[in-house]
Amino acid sequence: MKPTIYDVASKANVSIATVSKVLNNSGRISDETRKRVLKVIEQLNYQPSMMATALTGKSTYTIGLLIPDMANPFFGELARNIEDRGHELGYNLLICSTDYQPAKEQNYIELLKRKSVDGIILASGFEQTSEVDKLVKEKFPVTIVARDFPSTYVNSVSLDDFQGGYEATSYLIQLGHRQIAIIARDVWSNRERMRGYKKALEDHGLEEYAMFTFVEKSTVEWGKKVAEEYLRSEKPPTAIFACNDLLASGAIQAARTLHLHVPDDVSIIGFDNTIIATLVDPQLTTMAQPIRAMGREVMDLMVGEIKKEEQSKRRIVLSPTLIKRGSTAKLNK
């Protein structure tokens, strides 16, 4: 059984109140008694209950993070940067992966509240504005990252996904491509990237060449499947814009399966600039998200809200950066 505060008090031969004062670094206690209690705590490996701490009205120094897909390197890197910044500020992170399922999102929010976390960070893919509105109404500290909720009064850190989609498509057009296909998932960030893609085609008079498909999952397998369908079509694209690096790496596999050379036969551009981008062959041209800055900004906003440092909410929108590598080239046809 886990040791309790009663076990610590008994072994240290002090009252429960004295143990509590040592844990909270409060009250007048002699150095000798404090050292004795701390030694017993270490010997028993005693850890105060988060729930018990919360019941006293004190901070648990724990923050919940909901991400939609643990298998996507972008969310793994984002979670790591949020956690790193949290540790710098003295907070621990509880991470929950929702698999883009609304029921899981709702269940995890309730679970984290029962765990008495000080606040919750919700990441991209979270489509239920009603759940966010509910947290805001309850005055529960909540912050959004990697997506935007412009209609909800909440702190957020997002990327200008429209700009990213527009720049990625414009770059392919500059290389001479006209038949440009896009692979996306039907989630907020990808819809914004597709909107940028369509706008770039429109601005260059290429609307008639638009080719777009929504996939069920943001995986290599789905990227390969859809890219193969594009490349086997009567008028195959000379370039493919995939809305994340996993889909883009799948598109590279599809080209290889059809004995097409990347980038000579088809150019491929991804999104996120995760570790995947440098592991594929050829290395992937991609739109880089400022993942480190995103993670640090959202944790700073979260802690500021927990500590009630600012009354007004902040909406931070960061810009993506085009990273040119070997998977794109000028059209040679």
The CATH superfamily assigned to 62-159+291-318 is: Response regulator (3.40.50.2300)
Single-letter amino acid, residue 188: W
Residue 255 · residue 266 · CB < 8 Å: yes
Q: Taking the C-alpha atoms of 321, 322, 325 and 326 in order, what is their torsion angle to the nearest 10 degrees?
A: 150
The strand order across the sheet containing 315-318 reads: 92-97, 62-67, 119-123, 142-145, 155-159, 315-318
Q: Is the peptide bond before 263 cis (omega within 30 degrees of 0)?
A: yes
Query: What phi-psi label fits residue 122: left (phi over 0), alpha (psi between -120 and 50 degrees) or beta?
Result: beta
DSSP 283: P
For 277-302, letters b (16+ CB in 10 Å) and e give beebeeebbbbbbbbeebbbbbbbbb
Domain 161-289 has CATH 3.40.50.2300: yes
pTM of the full structure: 0.82
What CA–CA distance (Å, rounded) separates 272 from 288?
5
Q: Give the architecture-level CATH label for domain 5-48.
A: Orthogonal Bundle (1.10)
What CA–CA distance (Å, rounded) separates 50 from 196?
45
- Give the torsion sign (CA, 220, 225, 231, 235): negative
Domain definitions of the chain by residue range: 5-48, 62-159+291-318, 161-289
Q: Do domains 5-48 and 161-289 have the same CATH topology?
A: no
The radius of gyration of the chain from alpha carbons, rounded to an integer in Å, stands at 25
Beta bridge partners of 315: 156
Residue by residue, pLDDT tens for the chain (333 residues) are: 778 888 889 999 998 888 877 876 767 889 899 899 999 988 988 876 655 555 455 678 899 999 999 899 999 999 999 999 999 999 999 999 999 898 999 999 999 998 889 999 999 667 768 888 889 899 999 999 998 888 788 999 999 999 999 999 999 999 999 999 999 999 999 999 999 999 999 999 999 999 999 999 999 999 999 999 999 999 999 999 999 999 999 999 999 999 999 999 999 999 999 999 999 999 999 999 999 999 999 999 999 999 988 778 999 999 999 999 999 999 986
What's the Cα-to-Cα distance from 140 to each of 60, 124, 271, 303, rounded to whole Å?
14, 19, 33, 12
Which tokens go with 128?
């239920």
Crossing angle (nearest 10°) for helices 16-24 and 5-12? 110
Neighbouring CB atoms inside 10 A of 147's CB total 21
Query: What phi-psi label fits residue 205: left (phi over 0), alpha (psi between -120 and 50 degrees) or beta?
Result: left
Which tokens go with 318?
């960061």
